[in-house]
Amino acid sequence: MEDESWDEAEYNFFSSLSDDDKLYYMYDVMMDGVYDNFEDFDFVDIPSVEITITDTHLIIMCDEVHISKKFLSAFRMDGMILEFQEQKDTTLFYRIVGNTENMSVN
């Protein structure tokens, strides 16, 4: 997926979603570009992403590190202040430092 800025209406819509719906939305956005390079969908391997948010931590498990980084960017754009703690295999651990106002992507 190419890095494209959202227009104001799309960003406002995204900001109004619940945390779970934001995850589904971002997954759909990222997977949209995966199929562009394939004619036969039977051979497309869609990576599994598991995200856990606790009171103190954000944990992302995904075999594709670049997809994990896209999710991190989305959480940061939504105002999360995160501190990297560690990486174990394909799992990234971030401490939630706090939250700020949503950042504009325009």
Task: Output phi, psi for 4, to 5 deg.
Answer: -120, 140
Cα–Cα distance list, 67 to 9, 14, 34, 36, 51 (Å): 24, 18, 11, 16, 12
- Tokens 């997954």 — which residue? 27
Topology given in CATH for the domain delimited by 8-35+46-99: Alpha-Beta Plaits (3.30.70)
Rounded CA gap, 87 and 92, in Å?
A: 5
Give dist(CA 45, CA 59) in Å, integer. 22
Predicted confidence at residue 87, as pLDDT, reads 94
Report pLDDT digits (tens) over 44-88. Answer: 567 789 999 999 999 999 998 888 988 898 888 888 999 999 999
